[in-house]
Amino acid sequence: MVPFSAVIREDNRDHVFIREDDDTYRMVTIKLGPEGKGYRSVISGLKDGQEIAINGAFHLNTERKRQLSDG
What domains are there in the chain, each with its CATH number?
2-70 (2.40.420.20)
C-alpha dihedral (31, 38, 52, 32), degrees to nearest 10: 0
pLDDT digits (tens, 9 = 90+) for 48-58: 999 999 988 99
pLDDT digits (tens, 9 = 90+) for 16-45: 999 999 889 999 999 999 989 999 999 999
Is 65 a residue whose pLDDT tops 80?
Answer: yes
Q: Which uninterrupted H or E stretch holds 70?
A: helix 57-70
